[in-house]
């Protein structure tokens, strides 16, 4: 197959200025709820792009676990590669690829850690096996085999037994504080609809239409 010949039309509807909420968070939540209602496999999944300490760029998928006027929250190991990148450069970008709806949302801004209380509350809500996994995996570090990883999981399970599992000190949340949002709706003949929300110096959001 020639990949250059693979194409399709985007026909699921346009996007007009009058369709948009005045604030980007409200617009995002509207689209996020529609993605969930459409039963997408991972509607809260997004690609997180960061700049590494050596200046190279990196992307990986994370799950967005909260959004409000303060920003978008995700959780990870504070000793992982992504955490090291955020320690070197707090600027990052998220891309939500809702391809089944011919939609994308990109968000760019600065990233800060959430409070310990917020991380504790979310960790307590996780399934027990996920809690154990956070203790078992030294994320991004080398390991010789899958069996070795499963042994670390067994060790964590034995360590905590049937008791409560506390949040590891090396695990918690980050919040991306947006400066720019972009909402993209696919259109026929590649004439897509793109709108950008830009946070201005006076504390308001300016909405602009972009050419596709």
CB 28 within 8 A of CB 67: yes
Predicted local distance difference test score (pLDDT) of residue 27? 98
Q: Which residues are catalytic?
A: 190
Across 126-140, b (16+ Cβ under 10 Å) vs e yields beeeebbbbbbbebe
Domains of the chain: 15-210 (2.30.110.10)
The pLDDT score that the predictor gives to residue 78 is: 97
Give CA–CA dist 74/52, Å, rounded: 18
User: Residue 1 has what pLDDT?
Assistant: 67
List of the chain residues with pLDDT < 50: none
């Amino acid at each position: 197959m020639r990949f250059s010949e693979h194409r399709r039309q985007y026909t699921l509807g346009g996007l007009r200025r009058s369709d948009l909420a005045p604030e980007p968070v409200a617009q995002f939540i509207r689209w996020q709820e529609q993605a969930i209602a459409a039963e997408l496999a991972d509607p809260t999944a997004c690609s997180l792009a960061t700049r590494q300490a050596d200046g190279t760029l990196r992307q990986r998928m994370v799950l967005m676990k909260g959004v409000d006027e303060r920003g978008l929250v995700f959780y990870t190991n504070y000793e992982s590669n992504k955490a090291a990148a955020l320690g070197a450069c707090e600027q990052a970008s998220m891309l939500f690829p809702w391809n089944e709806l011919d939609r994308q949302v990109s968000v760019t801004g600065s990233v800060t850690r959430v409070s310990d209380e917020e991380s504790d509350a979310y960790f307590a809500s996780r399934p027990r096996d996920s809690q154990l996994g956070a203790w078992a995996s030294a994320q991004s570090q080398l390991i010789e085999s899958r069996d070795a990883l499963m042994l670390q999981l067994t060790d964590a399970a034995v360590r905590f037994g049937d008791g409560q599992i506390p949040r590891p000190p090396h695990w918690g949340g980050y919040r991306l504080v947006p400066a720019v949002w972009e909402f993209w709706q696919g259109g026929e003949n590649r004439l897509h609809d793109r709108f950008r929300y830009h946070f201005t110096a006076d504390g308001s959001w300016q909405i602009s239409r972009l050419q596709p």
